[in-house]
Amino acid sequence: MLTEVIATRYVTPLREGGSLPGIVEADDLGTYVMKFTGAGQGRKTLIAEIICGELARRLGLRVPELALMQLDPVIGLGEPDQEVQELLKASGGLNLGMDYLPGSLGFDPLAFEVGSREAGRVVWFDALINNVDRSWRNPNLLVWHGKLWLIDHGATMIWHHNWPGAEKASAKPYDATDHVLATFDPDIALAADEFVPQISEELLAEIAADVPDEWLVDEPGFGSADELRSAYVRTLLARAAVISDRITIGERTPDKPSRAPEWLAGKPPRRAVK
């Protein structure tokens, strides 16, 4: 069950993210990166953050600790940026916080070596959740205390924006050619052997239970929050059963050239340390 805290001070916006997350302090004396229900992407982004972030943690991947955060918009009255003030006003109530990792650095594939086992685990996990946002363009990985940490899972599970097509989407292949870890010789088979047996209906149901009811209501085609939770469980369970054989990592063809920068596009896979 996620911890619930109260935001006590808005510190500063993080303008690298399109949803304008902010650094906030909370009543547990912790510092968090807060993502807001009033942001343009809406509550589905926060649902994806919880389900995918907590699933990654259960699988042994490093993800900053998540917390539900109560926000009183009054804490932003001193913020001079009108855009930030409007965001806070639109986000009163329950939002999502991620533990702030002080001193962490954005992942640079030229400066940080990743073993093939860890690369395979991340690529397989991203394939499961259909993460389109872990490419060289926007790695969404941090290096903290010499370890790789996964962040920002809002742009995952694209099927939850179109539930009628979710069953078909669960079988969709995953092209990892432009994945930021593709050049580290990811061991996909080893990751599949490790992860697939762990992903059960019970595990996914436990994780889906962490999503607040208020973020799940009023979804067309579903009569209750629990019905929608069950849809997330079914789709991920079905995808976990087939995705291992549908992950591709290969060179771009002449009619579909890679848009990666020159230093990455022509670089052969590395035999990283296991």
Q: What's the CA gap between 134 and 36, in Å, rounded?
A: 21
Q: By the 8 A CB rule, do 132 and 155 touch?
A: yes
Pair type for strands 141-144 and 105-106: antiparallel
Q: pLDDT tens string for the chain (274 positions)?
A: 899 999 999 999 997 766 789 999 999 999 999 999 998 878 999 999 999 999 999 999 999 999 999 999 998 888 888 889 999 999 999 999 999 999 999 999 989 999 999 999 999 999 999 998 899 889 999 999 999 999 999 999 999 999 999 999 888 999 998 899 998 999 999 999 999 999 999 999 999 999 999 999 999 999 999 999 999 999 999 999 999 999 999 765 555 555 555 545 445 545 444 4
Q: Report the half-sphere exposure of 183 (CA within 13 A, side-chain side).
A: 16
Cα-based angle 203, 205, 173 (whole degrees, multiple of 5): 75
Pair type for strands 93-99 and 141-144: unpaired
Q: Tell which CATH classification among 3.30.70, 1.10.1070, 1.10.8, 1.10.260 matches the domain 105-265.
A: 1.10.1070
pLDDT digits (tens, 9 = 90+) for 138-159: 999 999 999 999 999 999 999 9
Outline where the chain has alpha helix (H).
43-58, 82-89, 116-128, 166-169, 188-195, 201-208, 225-242, 262-265
Domain boundaries, the chain: 3-99, 105-265
Please give the pLDDT value at position 271: 43
pLDDT digits (tens, 9 = 90+) for 175-210: 998 899 998 999 999 999 999 999 999 999 999 999
For the chain, how long is the longest CA-to-CA vector? 56
Please give the pLDDT value at position 40: 80
Q: By the 8 A CB rule, do 63 and 36 touch?
A: no
Cα–Cα distances in Å, from 73 out to 20, 85, 110, 116? 15, 8, 41, 45
Question: pTM score, two decimals?
Answer: 0.91
CA-closest candidate to residue 235, choices 162, 141, 137: 162
Please give the pLDDT value at position 164: 95
